[in-house]
Structure 1
Amino acid sequence: MGSASEVHPARKILAVVTVGGSSNSAPILEICQILAQRGHAIEFATLKGREELVQPYSFVSTVHIVGRALTAEEDEQLYLQITSWNHRTYAGRRDIMRFQKFLDSFWPETYRGLKKIVESTRPDFIFTDYQSVASRDIAAEYCVPVAAMWPQMPWFMAPQKWIPGVPGFQVRCLTSEHASMYDRLFEQSFILRWAPNFIDIYYCTRKMRRAAGVKTMPFMKLKPDYLVFVNSFFGLEPSKDLPPLIHAAGPILSDEWKPLEEEHESFLRDKKSVAYVAFGSHLILCFAIVEKILEGLADAMRDGYIDGVVWGMRAAAQNQILHSIDLASSPMVSGIKVVDLVQNKNPAWLFLEYAPQRGLLEHHSIKLFLTHAGASSANEGLYHGVPMLSMAINADQIQNSLRLVAAGVALGVDKHDFSALEIFRKVEAIIQDPDHEIQRNVRRMQRIAHVACRRKHLAADLVEEHMYDWDLRFERTTLTALSGLNGGRGKMLSPMHLQTADARISWLKATNTDQWLIVLGACAFVGMLWRFGPFVVMAGL
């Protein structure tokens, strides 16, 4: 029998997060932390200026830079632009694709940077954020096993007939169960409505990749040929059948979080019903949206439904508000100057450039979470058991908001069509909750989330399982190593053990359509004999 080191050999794992932020890196590094405790070496690759993503994770041995930094000006302009996205219009869809093209523009240097890293350090496994297409390109080129982390069920993959439209792009209904015919047809027409945008980005991507000497194109298969983790869980995500290479591993959260500081504790100490507001670390809301939220919350405070507001708003977003108003005659909400609220001159309001979100959500005084429904915020709100008022701004937040509302833990607000009165009424409904329906659903989902969060250990198991399977699936000889076949691994001796056979064979064979064609052909032949056989015999006589 082999020793423990032979059965469970330590490997080098390269974690990659490029254009994403901490919401993208944290789930990957949480799983890598478990792998590091098991003896694996963890390295990290990212863009310049994002080295701080690994600061909470001391086990990361090396940080590689694979591309330039995103400038502060680019960051602010991008997130000002996406705040006004409207997927319902062609102009809005064009803006979304323009944003995606900008993110894709980092692909050439990321591809070259990762290529150098892989050639020099030879990692045994690549663990990447879903946005880093270059990671999967390099993994395929050098025959390195790879896993990708998604914030929701991956686009286009694992479709089901009772989930209308394209997986991951629903905006009106999550399943057909309670959806109207109109909503189902609307979702099914997604590809037609977005076809011009997809064609445009396809040609731009092909041109960019060919300029870099890469002739292949990224292709979204119905079943992946690599390991896929989803930082979500069934209960939030609609349950569906998944292939063995896709796993709902969320909510992937740290077991510890930053405690509240004295400033936060003193603000919350004498309050019993506080609304916490946060729209992520990047989004910059226009003043028209902020003003209506402020007015709705101020009215809810006036009527006694809440007695305080904590708003996490980074400096760039605060400056955007202050630059949008006349400071001399600042707009008023419920008799209070907006500028006084933002500058913390009112004892019932606290604006924080950095809000310790999990510490706040855990505090007993926080009774409502007004959120953009980003993946991390949705998971944290559920884990800490706080009912939500959900106002999606862009991207997967739209689907997350639908899921939170469907789970009964949130009420939704449309950023394009809402009023201060709607904010007030929905705060009232959540706080009063006369039938205790919202609180019941919140407790139910919180208990599920607490159990589901243990699956990050299962995710670490699956990384090892996939890595060890991959390592011994190839013939290793000096000749094949020199030839470079499969990245020097040699001839493949067996397929991936987690990949189902239908992903490797033709559609005809996988669906038994070839057998049905033979049966139909045989039946047709017998029918022809039965119908025309006597005439053939008589003609012969």
Structure 2
Amino acid sequence: MKVFWLFLSNLLYTAFMAVTVSAFQLQPTFRSSKNIVFGAFVPGSSHTSWVLRFLDELASRGHNTTFVTLDGNLKFGAPYPRITTIPTGVKEVNEDFLNEVLSSHVSPLVLLPQLTKVLNPLWTPCYETLIDYMDTNKVDVLICDHISDACSDAAATKNVPMILTSTIASYPDATAAYINNNMAAMDDFSTVHQSIYVRLYDNFVAPFRILFALTPELKKMAQIKRDAGIINARHTDNPDAKAKNALKIVNTMFGLETPRPLGPLVELVGPLMSSEYSGLDEPFESYLSSHHRVAYVAFGQHARPLTADVKLILSALIQQHEKGHIDGIIWSSKTALPEIFPSQSPLATLVTEKGGLVDDIFVVKWSPQMGVLHHPSVVAFISHGGANSIAEALYTGKKLIFFPFFGDQIGNAMHLTRSGVSEHLNHLMDSAEVSELVERIILDKEGNYQRNIQRYQALVQIRSKAAPIQAANLVEEVAFASVGSKIPQREDVGQSLSFLKRYNLDIFGIALLVAASIVSLVVFGIYKLIFALYYRQQLQRKTKTL
């Protein structure tokens, strides 16, 4: 009986404590309002939109967020009223010249000097706008697009913590011996499938050729910086030196990026998608409702297909239409004029009235891409291979065909083709090969492409859900846990070690010396033993002779 009453009393006591002792949840106490600035001084949404997404998350946490950019990029900040947008006063980039360069399938040897020539004049107004702002406002963190040199220079001048943003992890602390991280070798992200000749050229010939071609523009840029007060600027400066202590936030994931070990200052947070997308207007909705197997063609903001490119791709799609594999084509391009393309253009011979093909080609200068890809009537996406387009296609589970133009687009296309997600075309292929690859993707007879795409679709949707929060957390880490311009908790301790100690060459040297000494002693001992035996044998022979 005593046992029963003891049990009952313990039970009542536990119930009483559960009622009287209140539970509590942990709440962060570190947070105070910080001034966070993002500088992006190159045109295009891929450099800005995804960063603004997590900048808005930071604003929702009570931080002051500011977007400093070219006047042409102001539209990307419009959907985010909590972010203050400051124009640099640069109203125009030489887009005609830029488009001419980017539409001719140029090699890095030509592209990089020409791109530098376009961006050099932007440096002074962008740098001065940032410095003026930082003179009157205490900036706690400066976020810089990775090729916005004026932003990283401003961070160095003011000695504030810096974060670099990019869509590929092309940094010294994100490389490995088998990774191609230099702009001379972006047509293939790793050396796995490269011959020894290509590897030798990419590492010892191409970089020097590009540096030689870049030198005149680098000298001009160095003079511009000296005129602005950066008196130590030289054209030989290592561009990676300013990023040594910076956190790098990269809008990608392994699967899109080649897997390898990354340094503690590199974080893959992507794909980071927009919070909302434009829906379909009536012409798009009407077209997609009346067509059920549509191929969608778009090449982003900067790529400009040549007439030969259009002919190559359009010919293959027309064949698919004639075979009944697709019943419509959406062609979205800034250079396409709906009133003349293609029925009255130089490509008119490609288009016949057979099967109502003219009515089945829907030509627009711009399209709400995510809305188009999200529609069930779209079965394939012919893309240039830009980061945003890839993420949107994979999120919606659409089959991909790549026609890359420049930069990382070529490497993206190659990497995802080898991953079984897509096929890639190039402007040097003949029409028969292009048609065969397009048909292979559209029919997907064994379903292998779609299975791989569904696997990637899951990866993209899983990672994109938490991406803005993850990126915002990283910015707060820099804002609250940095010391000056450094982030001590993320510093690679190896940087403080001598070369010998960092790679254990000192102990390997000692071990090698000890091993060599032991081997030498053993060899010497064997030699002495053999010599002694030989001497004894000779002595015995002499004794017998006597």
Cα distance, 1:152 vs. partner? Answer: 0.8
Name the counterpart of 2:91. Answer: 69
1:147 partner SS:
strand
Is 1:35 equivalent to 2:76 in the alignment?
no
Name the counterpart of 2:5. Answer: none
Cα distance, 1:422 vs. partner? Answer: 3.3
Is 1:503 equivalent to 2:495 in the alignment?
yes
Is 1:350 equivalent to 2:362 in the alignment?
yes
Paired positions, count: 492
Cα distance, 1:418 vs. partner? Answer: 2.6
Is 1:296 equivalent to 2:316 in the alignment?
yes
Q: Distance in 2 between matches of 1:282 and 1:175?
A: 26
Name the counterpart of 1:513. Answer: 505
- Equivalence map 1:42-53=2 (5 Å): 42-53=65-76
- For 1:405-440, what per-residue CA distance to the aligned partner results, in whole angstroms no more than 9, with x for missing partners? 12211111112x034433322221012112211111
Cα distance, 1:312 vs. partner? Answer: 1.5
Q: Distance in 2 between matches of 1:328 and 1:304?
A: 25
Contact 1:149 1:229 in 2 (8 A): yes
Q: Distance in 2 between matches of 1:305 and 1:127?
A: 47
Q: Distance in 1 between matches of 2:508 and 2:347?
A: 74
Is 1:152 equivalent to 2:164 in the alignment?
no
Is 1:247 equivalent to 2:263 in the alignment?
no
Aligned amino acid, residue 85 of structure 2: V
Q: Distance in 2 between matches of 1:328 and 1:193?
A: 40
Alpha carbons of 1:94 and 1:353: their partners in 2 closer, same or farther (altered >3 Å)?
closer
Cα distance, 1:522 vs. partner? Answer: 8.2
- Equivalence map 1:234-383=2 (5 Å): 234-314=254-334, 317-318=335-336, 331-335=348-352, 346-383=358-395
Is 1:175 equivalent to 2:190 in the alignment?
yes
Contact 1:223 1:503 in 2 (8 A): no
Q: Distance in 2 between matches of 1:125 and 1:95?
A: 32
Alpha carbons of 1:218 and 1:30: their partners in 2 closer, same or farther (altered >3 Å)?
farther
Contact 2:38 2:66 in 1 (8 A): yes
Cα distance, 1:458 vs. partner? Answer: 1.1
Alpha carbons of 1:520 and 1:330: their partners in 2 closer, same or farther (altered >3 Å)?
closer
Contact 2:312 2:431 in 1 (8 A): yes
Q: Distance in 1 between matches of 2:473 and 2:491?
A: 17
Q: 2:128 aligns with which of 108, 112, 115?
A: 112
Contact 1:305 1:427 in 2 (8 A): no
Aligned amino acid, residue 244 of structure 2: P
- For 1:157-185, what per-residue CA distance to the aligned partner results, in whole angstroms no more than 9, with x for missing partners? 4221222x445653454334444444444
Contact 1:277 1:370 in 2 (8 A): yes
Aligned amino acid, residue 44 of structure 1: F
Contact 1:158 1:167 in 2 (8 A): no
Q: Distance in 1 between matches of 2:209 and 2:344?
A: 43
Cα distance, 1:332 vs. partner? Answer: 1.5
Q: Distance in 1 between matches of 2:338 and 2:499?
A: 54
Q: Distance in 1 between matches of 2:79 and 2:395?
A: 21
Alpha carbons of 1:126 and 1:336: their partners in 2 closer, same or farther (altered >3 Å)?
farther
Is 1:194 equivalent to 2:210 in the alignment?
yes
Aligned amino acid, residue 323 of structure 2: D
Aligned amino acid, residue 367 of structure 2: A
Contact 2:293 2:325 in 1 (8 A): yes
Aligned amino acid, residue 500 of structure 1: D
- For 1:270-295, what per-residue CA distance to the aligned partner results, in whole angstroms no more than 9, with x for missing partners? 32210000011233222222122222
Contact 2:40 2:151 in 1 (8 A): no
- Unaligned runs of 5+ residues in structure 2 are 1-25, 525-546
Q: Distance in 1 between matches of 2:455 and 2:521?
A: 65
Q: 1:18 aligns with which of 35, 41, 53?
A: 41
Aligned amino acid, residue 66 of structure 1: T
1:242 partner SS:
coil
- For 1:97-155, what per-residue CA distance to the aligned partner results, in whole angstroms no more than 9, with x for missing partners? 12222213311221122111111122211122112112112112212111111111124
Contact 2:39 2:151 in 1 (8 A): yes
Aligned amino acid, residue 420 of structure 2: G
- For 1:191-243, what per-residue CA distance to the aligned partner results, in whole angstroms no more than 9, with x for missing partners? 24434224444434333322322114453259831110111110111111111
Q: Distance in 1 between matches of 2:72 and 2:256?
A: 34
Aligned amino acid, residue 150 of structure 1: S
Name the counterpart of 1:478. Answer: none
| RMSD after superposition | 3.2
Aligned amino acid, residue 190 of structure 2: T
Q: TM-score, structure 2 length as denominator?
A: 0.82
Cα distance, 1:44 vs. partner? Answer: 1.1
1:497 partner SS:
helix
2:88 partner SS:
strand
1:63 partner SS:
strand
Q: Distance in 2 between matches of 1:327 and 1:172?
A: 36
1:229 partner SS:
strand
Is 1:427 equivalent to 2:438 in the alignment?
yes
Q: Distance in 2 between matches of 1:363 and 1:198?
A: 45
Cα distance, 1:76 vs. partner? Answer: 2.3
Alpha carbons of 1:329 and 1:441: their partners in 2 closer, same or farther (altered >3 Å)?
closer
- Equivalence map 1:200-215=2 (5 Å): 200-214=216-230, 215=232
Q: Which has the larger radius of gyration?
A: 2
Aligned amino acid, residue 110 of structure 1: C
Name the counterpart of 2:476. Answer: 464
Q: Distance in 1 between matches of 2:28 and 2:268?
A: 30
Q: Distance in 2 between matches of 1:196 and 1:527?
A: 50
Name the counterpart of 1:97. Answer: 113
Q: Distance in 2 between matches of 1:301 and 1:79?
A: 31
- Unaligned runs of 5+ residues in structure 1 are 475-485, 487-493, 533-541
1:104 partner SS:
helix
Q: Distance in 1 between matches of 2:490 and 2:339?
A: 51
Q: TM-score, structure 1 length as denominator?
A: 0.82
Aligned amino acid, residue 42 of structure 1: T
